[in-house]
C-alpha cells in the first residue's frame, strides 16, 4: 500500500529525495498532489516509513549534499534544487523576470520612471513619489510616498544593479511562493526601508527626502530567500553563498563611506532585517499549521 512521505513545492527537490531513497533500497516515487501545486514523495511499502523519515530529516538539513545528486545520476536523472533553468546569466534572469507578472510589473515601472526622468521629467516625478518626513505625512496623508521612492533611480548603474537583483530574486519568490507573497514582501519592505531611511536623511526645501531606489527591497528579498532557504529548504528557495557574501560586504562598505556613490545605508539594513523577519514568521506559521 502506498504511503505518503512528504510534499514539496518544487518538483526537482521531490525527485532528488525519491532518487536517493531508491539508492537506499526504498521504493519511492513522486506524485503531483490533487491541488496541483505540490509534489508528494510516496513510498511503495509502508514498512519503509520509519527509515525513510530518518533519511528525509537528514535531507532537509542539507539538501545540497553531493550524495543526493550522485543518487540522481545513478538513476539516470539529474535534478537541481532550482527551477530557473537559465543559470545565473543576465539573459536568463531577465527572461525569468519578464515571465513573472509581479516581478515584470515592478521592473517595467522602474524603467518607465527612469526613462521619463531622462526626458526632463525627473522633478515632477520626484515631487510626487519622493518620501517626506513622517510628521509631514501625518498632516498631508500622502501615504503613497512610503512606497514611491522604490521606483526612483538616479543613474543607469543604480537602476541596472537593482533590477538585476530584483529580477533574479523576485522571480524566484514569485514562481515558488506565488504573486501574493512577492507583493507582500515588496510592499512591507518598501515601507519599512523607506521609513527607516527617512530618519537619517535631511529634507530638501519643500520637505522632500532625497533618496530612492529599489535596493532596500532587494536586500529584503535577499534576506527572505536566504533565511527560507535555511529554515525551509524543501520549499525550493536558494541563493548562492557568494551572492550573500557580496551583498553583505557591499552593505558594510556603504557604512564605511568609501564608495563613489551615496548609499541609503539605513534602507539597506532595514530591508535586510525585514526580509529575514518575514521569512522567520512565514516559517513559524507553516510549522504551526502543520501541527
Q: Out of 100, 117, 215, 238, which one is annotated catalytic?
A: 215
Task: State yes or no: is 268 an active-site residue.
Answer: yes
CA distance 46 to 111: 55
Catalytic residue among 153, 189, 238, 268: 268
Cα–Cα distances (Å) from 116 to 28, 104, 154, 212, in that order, read 56, 18, 12, 15
**What is the C-alpha separation between 161 and 16, in angstroms, rounded?**
33
Question: Which position has the grid cell 516625478?
Answer: 125
Is 155 among the catalytic positions?
Answer: no
- Structural contact between residues 266 and 284, judged by C-beta atoms closer than 8 angstroms: no
3-state secondary structure of 149: helix
**DSSP summary character for residue 261:** S
Q: Could you give the angle at the alpha carbon of 150 between the alpha carbons of 254 and 273, nearest 5°?
A: 55
| Catalytic residue positions, numbered | 215, 268
Amino acid at each position: 500500500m502506498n504511503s505518503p512521505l512528504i510534499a514539496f513545492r518544487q518538483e526537482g527537490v521531490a525527485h532528488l529525495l525519491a532518487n536517493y531513497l531508491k539508492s537506499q533500497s526504498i521504493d519511492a516515487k513522486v506524485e503531483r498532489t490533487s491541488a496541483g501545486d505540490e509534489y508528494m514523495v510516496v513510498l511503495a511499502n509502508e514498512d519503509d516509513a520509519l527509515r525513510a523519515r530518518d533519511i528525509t530529516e537528514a535531507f532537509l538539513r542539507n539538501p545540497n549534499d553531493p550524495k543526493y545528486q550522485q543518487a540522481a545520476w545513478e538513476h539516470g536523472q539529474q535534478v537541481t534544487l532550482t527551477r530557473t533553468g537559465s543559470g545565473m546569466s543576465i539573459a536568463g534572469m531577465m527572461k525569468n523576470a519578464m515571465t513573472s507578472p509581479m516581478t515584470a510589473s515592478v521592473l517595467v515601472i522602474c524603467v518607465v520612471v527612469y526613462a521619463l526622468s531622462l526626458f526632463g521629467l525627473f522633478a515632477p516625478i520626484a515631487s510626487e513619489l519622493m518620501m517626506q518626513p513622517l510628521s509631514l505625512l501625518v498632516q498631508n496623508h500622502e501615504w503613497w510616498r512610503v512606497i514611491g521612492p522604490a521606483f526612483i533611480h538616479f543613474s543607469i548603474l543604480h537602476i541596472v544593479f537593482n533590477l538585476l537583483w530584483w529580477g533574479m530574486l523576485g522571480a524566484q519568490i514569485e514562481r515558488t511562493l506565488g504573486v501574493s507573497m512577492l507583493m507582500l514582501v515588496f510592499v512591507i519592505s518598501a515601507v519599512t526601508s523607506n521609513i527607516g531611511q527617512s530618519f537619517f536623511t535631511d529634507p530638501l526645501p519643500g520637505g522632500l527626502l532625497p533618496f530612492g531606489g529599489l535596493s532596500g527591497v532587494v536586500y529584503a528579498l535577499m534576506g527572505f530567500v536566504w533565511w527560507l532557504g535555511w529554515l525551509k529548504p524543501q520549499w525550493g528557495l536558494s541563493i548562492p553563498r557568494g551572492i550573500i557574501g557580496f551583498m553583505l560586504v557591499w552593505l558594510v562598505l556603504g557604512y564605511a563611506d568609501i564608495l563613489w556613490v551615496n548609499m541609503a545605508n539605513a534602507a539597506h539594513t532595514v530591508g535586510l532585517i525585514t526580509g529575514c523577519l518575514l521569512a522567520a514568521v512565514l516559517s513559524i506559521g507553516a510549522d504551526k499549521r502543520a501541527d
